[in-house]
Chain A
């Protein structure tokens, strides 16, 4: 950046911007999940300008379209103004609300929750959406004693998170990032726009400026793919196959990092080979549980955790007890080198020429091994050996929704991580780097809570990382204990829960009926639901006695969403500029690879109306209900409010929600006693805290003595021991054995579950056709030739909530996009209205033809269609009349099979919603059907306090403009420019 030189600035330059009445405040953006630092200029109590905070580690001063539109969120007319109760006697969903006081609202809720807690706490299901306060909501749920809690990860990208945590001990986004500064080859899989919105744009620029290459694997050339040096138009749902074919080429050509795999992964560990017998496929261990490797010098099985041994990477050996064993690497190579994963086969599956796959693999190998980089720096490895440099493989990758929203997404994500490991490019200069508190042990040591009892907190968090069938949250008969059936045989590793199944299961009473569903910041009656129309019906479903099958629905949101419409009790939240918040080290912090970081929000505006931050409500409800963490021994509230709680609550001695300026004097980073001045220190520092690791601890963190010891001291990891990455995911094999009837422990009681567990819980990556697709084909339905997916629009992703008056001028109607040549071959023209039909239903949408779409794919922007009358929009808004949701076409269950219980349309390992497995056909709508979307959207009436009538004109300004005047002389001389 350059500015006008001081010498060129005239002394008499007019003050065009009045500064009287202006103040600057720092806080954290919440227009999406990116968590950028913002510098907000206020003018007489209104927002003059929101800009990026130049010092902030996430965005370094830049700010996206959404962040720049914060003003229109703050002044959205969809803002809720007061607590609302569905009018007694009115039908749910009819929108008949009455305003009530907070006292009434909280009394009503407290009474209900108290009764539930005393009878059966799991009759409360509490699920949250786009929030980032899961450390608090999770604590609250476990204190309440319900296992039925999770956030939205199950329908977002849990496949990515789980695959990463079971493979590397970290993953993408919050867990790790490309080393933008040094990477020379960046592969982006399935990401149009992402959580890390601004960092990615900055990073891609950085890669390109350094002369690096950016390869984008995506069926659609929008978003980041627009500037990719190479676009790989892949068929949806086949990324795992491409990743494995690339691995096939690397292994075939001997292009893998032998030393890295031996030193830092479980590749040399010996795996028992006794098919059909218990113990098959488990890692060979000695009596102390140590994994064994074959030492080439000692020619014997030895404890694989030792330093200085010489483990065989490949080979078949015999265990001391006589059982045949092979190294994990051998099994991986056998899997990958099979013709099933050859480029020629992948070309058929993925629609990418085999020669391109060969070339991409050769390029990856070239950059990793021929263009290796070194960062000179003395560091000490886990065994105490000193090194004088970090070796770097400057290949990095990132993947998100496009890979994970498939029923084969967990294994696809595993395949991508495996590719990174083969290249030796994890936690190295130029590669993919973990963000503290990650890496953590593979997988992290937390197991999900299972036992519940009246008036009793859970023993731990409702979420965790199962490593064996014993960890599942099922009853003695093997049936699910959670309402979402997470951690059951249907989805053993559902580490983020399965929010997308809650309403269907609760209404069906499967596995049991619940009493109350509490939703925060989640639009489950609209764009966050599969099968939206049916979900709205289920929310209103009654039993034979006329009682709602879901007896009580509590919704907290700042805006009038579709889900608010169905609530029995609405608790209005504040906007992000009106409240305290923390982006906590205990949750999903804003860390960077060079050190941990966290952030706060502070109220910079007075809330409008009678609204309260949900955090404050949580703390108050906790105290009212007498939950131990929120009350003193005498039953009085322990905390004065949310910010008091944040400062004083300690999860373990010295460890709290905020990591910065701990200790009585604020001089203890990360761990120390509570500091009453902590909020102020954050505010003084621009609303964030960052701890930079010394360079010697910034790489190879999994095996870096300095880092591991420090991470242990500050409580990130339980012991300062090396973290061994899992090329071979042994926990999956324990489940598979259970599915095969070979496990000495719990086994799936249901034959379908057993079959699925045996097939998909594979300790090595594998590719299989997405489950719904396969059933549709087998059912002989009319052909559905297209894959249908959605892309995240950069101007709306995670900012759908306020239906922002500025952003909707950029995009207010979504279209169905199709490859031009393909569309023309079908006799379709740009602008036609077409029917889009799946096995689950049909919608009508307006078509756009374009080049940059893979030939077998149709797509649209996600979340753009709206229910008429919601979000302060006039009922005739294009979002409702011409826009549409693809969700209507998606079933939340797989096509049924006789004699089989209902199966969720999800990944069978993690339970991730398989949004993108959808197959459709597309045909032209009749002439009389042109011009409007289907299904038509019934118009909802706004609740008291929300306006959605006509508004012709909006003219926002914080002051009257000081106009630009042209002098008479200039006018007469025509400025001298001619």
Chain B
């Protein structure tokens, strides 16, 4: 299996539900606690392993706002694993999930520098690196109802913009979405072969109704014409 996420940029409204759901689940999960620094102070920050960034494309009035959720891509060729001096970072053979063994991690930050996606964060309180596990403590937990064996971000997403599954299986929903919507990985030129894919916005013109050309604008004396409209018989 190559487990990963497929994220739909056509419906992501940038609401941050995925980011906060991730924070909530994982602060009491395998990554926890996810530290918060100065939570009520002048420079509030903390450890988040899923963040949403927003950009603009094009120029007013034809500009577009793009919200881009970013978390670990669970790359097939993960540089973070390559550079790890202690062997704490690893990619699992069975499902491709990239994880960190907290006991081996010394918080050197090499992996964060190596990752082109900014997906790893140092928790200064624990002194270890934190990253997305695809909610490894949910997706294999048979005590959960099957529908809830999802990463917390996928479970929460109100816009149905996040999909989890096996990208090795051509019949999986995620593979089908990538195929049909022309999904793509981010920064393929970096050579990391990310498993996560993004679905581009559907072309805006695709949904435009083939409306007939409107009647000539600025017709004159229309108010007078109202009086002349033949009254159709419509029974009440």
Contacts and interface: CB of A to CB of B under 8 A. Distances in A.
Contacts of A344: 217-218
A49 B25 contact: yes
B156 A51 contact: yes
B17 A362 contact: no
Given A201-B159, A252-B219, A809 B139 contact: no
Contacts of B99: 964, 966
A64 B160 contact: no
Nearest to A807: B20
Contacts of B154: 1
Interface in A63-109: 63-69, 71, 77
Contacts of A330: 226-227
Q: Identify which of B24, B64, B206, B233 gathers the most chain A CB atoms within 10 Å of its CB.
A: B24
A265 B212 CA distance: 28
Given A2-B165, A358-B217, A951-B40, A202 B158 contact: yes
A314 B231 contact: yes
A2 B174 contact: yes
Contact of A961 (B10, B29, B36, B227): B29
Interface string B141-158: 111001111101011111
A370 B39 CA distance: 56
A43 B29 CA distance: 12
Given A3-B146, A342-B217, A805-B39, A313 B208 contact: no
24 contacts: A2-B174, A4-B3, A8-B94, A9-B142, A16-B29, A64-B156, A65-B17, A68-B24, A202-B160, A208-B11, A310-B234, A310-B236, A311-B236, A313-B231, A314-B231, A333-B222, A334-B226, A354-B217, A794-B13, A805-B39, A805-B44, A821-B59, A854-B61, A954-B39
B136 A964 contact: yes
A226 B13 contact: yes
A794 B15 contact: yes
Contacts of A211: 206-207
Contacts of B190: none
B5 to A, nearest CB: 12
Contacts of B103: 963, 965
Given A330-B226, A851-B60, A809 B13 contact: no
Contacts of B20: 65-66, 68-69, 795, 806-807, 810
Given A64-B17, A819-B60, A874-B40, A205 B223 contact: no
| Interface residue range, chain B | 35 or more
Given A49-B24, A361-B214, A877-B40, A201 B229 contact: no
B37 A208 contact: no
B60 A821 contact: yes
A313 B58 CA distance: 47
B67 A226 contact: yes
Nearest to B157: A62
Interface in A184-209: 184-185, 193, 197-198, 201-202, 204-205, 208-209
Interface in B47-89: 48, 54, 56, 58-61, 63-67, 76, 78, 81, 87-88
A252 B13 contact: no
Contact of B58 (A201, A851, A948, A957): A851
Nearest to A809: B44
A965 B100 CA distance: 8
Nearest to B134: A4
Interface string B91-122: 11111100111111000000000000000000
Contacts of B88: 966
Interface in B141-196: 141-143, 146-150, 152, 154-161, 163-166, 172-174
Contacts of A966: 87-88, 90, 99, 101, 104
A959 interface: yes
B65 A4 contact: no
A839 interface: no
B15 A881 contact: no
Given A43-B28, A366-B209, A966-B88, A808 B101 contact: no
A54 B147 contact: yes
Given A962-B137, A977-B76, 18 more contacts: A43-B28, A65-B15, A205-B11, A226-B13, A227-B13, A229-B204, A233-B61, A253-B214, A311-B236, A365-B211, A806-B20, A820-B60, A821-B59, A851-B59, A851-B60, A955-B33, A956-B36, A977-B93
A361 B37 CA distance: 52
A312 B201 CA distance: 48
A13 interface: yes
B160 A205 contact: yes
A807 B23 CA distance: 11
A231 B64 CA distance: 9
B31 to A, nearest CB: 7
Interface in A212-253: 212-214, 221-227, 229-231, 233, 249, 251-253
A851 B60 CA distance: 5
A301 B163 CA distance: 62
Contacts of B43: 878
B236 A977 contact: no
B36 A955 contact: yes
A955 B35 contact: yes
Contact of A225 (B65, B210, B231): B65
A218 to B, nearest CB: 11
Interface residues of A, number: 151
A310 B208 contact: no
Contact of B24 (A71, A315, A361): A71
Contacts, number: 392
B234 A63 contact: no
Nearest to A368: B209
Contacts of A197: 15, 158
Nearest to B205: A229
A964 B36 contact: no
Nearest to B156: A63
A223 B35 contact: no
A823 to B, nearest CB: 11
Q: Identify which of A6, A63, A263 gathers the most chain B CB atoms within 10 Å of its CB.
A: A63
Contacts of B141: 13, 15-17
B209 A185 contact: yes
A51 B39 CA distance: 23
A950 B30 contact: no
A897 interface: no
Nearest to B176: A2
Nearest 10 pairs between A and B by C-beta?
A851-B63, A16-B137, A201-B158, A955-B33, A213-B207, A805-B39, A226-B65, A362-B211, A68-B20, A366-B211
Nearest to A69: B20
Contacts of A855: 60
A371 B207 CA distance: 13
Interface stretch (A508-516, A585-593, A968-976): A968-976
B123 to A, nearest CB: 9
Contacts of B64: 221, 226, 852
Interface string A877-889: 1100100000000
A477 interface: no
A296 B231 CA distance: 8
Nearest to B8: A205
Nearest to A202: B158
Interface string A46-70: 0011111010000101111111110
Contacts of B93: 970, 975-977
Contacts of B234: 258-259, 262-263, 310-311, 313
Contacts of A896: none
Nearest to A248: B222
Contacts of B137: 16-17, 962
A961 B30 contact: yes
B197 interface: no
B63 to A, nearest CB: 3
A475 B143 CA distance: 67
A821 B236 CA distance: 55
A337 B29 contact: no
A359 B211 CA distance: 8
Given A65-B19, A201-B159, A873-B40, A2 B164 contact: yes
